[in-house]
Structure 1
């Protein structure tokens, strides 16, 4: 009796059929020309350790710190027209969104809107050194 591939415990994927199938139809010779997996795939020798974040990191990630800081940056940008704080809020909002904070995306949008509005106010409303506004000239 010829040993079958399933009898070999160390076997992985094996092709049991001949190198070049004969002229018969593939449907007739399905058992001979198909790839077979005789047994389970080998498992890793040791289980991989699961990395658990420390409680302080888990609390900081789940609490929405980045989103809150981004909203603060958006508010400061909108009130004071300091346009350089807006991009910081955008980055903090994106970081919060990537970390899975619920309001991260919205805080990034708020910081973007505050930056655009502050830039428009500085450009159109605030007078230049000569005392002329761009909107009035």
Structure 2
């Protein structure tokens, strides 16, 4: 059974690692893919949802904080995902990206912190759910 030993020894050996596939590059790729996903939702970013989320965040005294900005972004993303999945037309007035976006460009740790704040708000924040549930002009137009 020499063929059996060769087969198992071949499959049991660890796959060669490339200097191009390190934990850091894999992590960086994951951050970029997440950002690309957010960019793909750009046509569905509702300005109305963004404004409503900003009002709600300000009412909770979170305006001007990273947490408040993440709540607003999470609400916009939540509504954009819902609109795209529901087959709605893209928004006529798209919400602009968060103002802090340019300050994080090229800074992987800062971008990671930002995405983690958004993820936390997206997963479990009542303000996000309320703001994203607001009907938008796109919702009304595409349902008629």
Check whether TM > 0.5: no
Larger radius of gyration: 1
TM-score w.r.t. length of structure 2 = 0.25
TM-score w.r.t. length of structure 1 = 0.26
More helix by share: 2
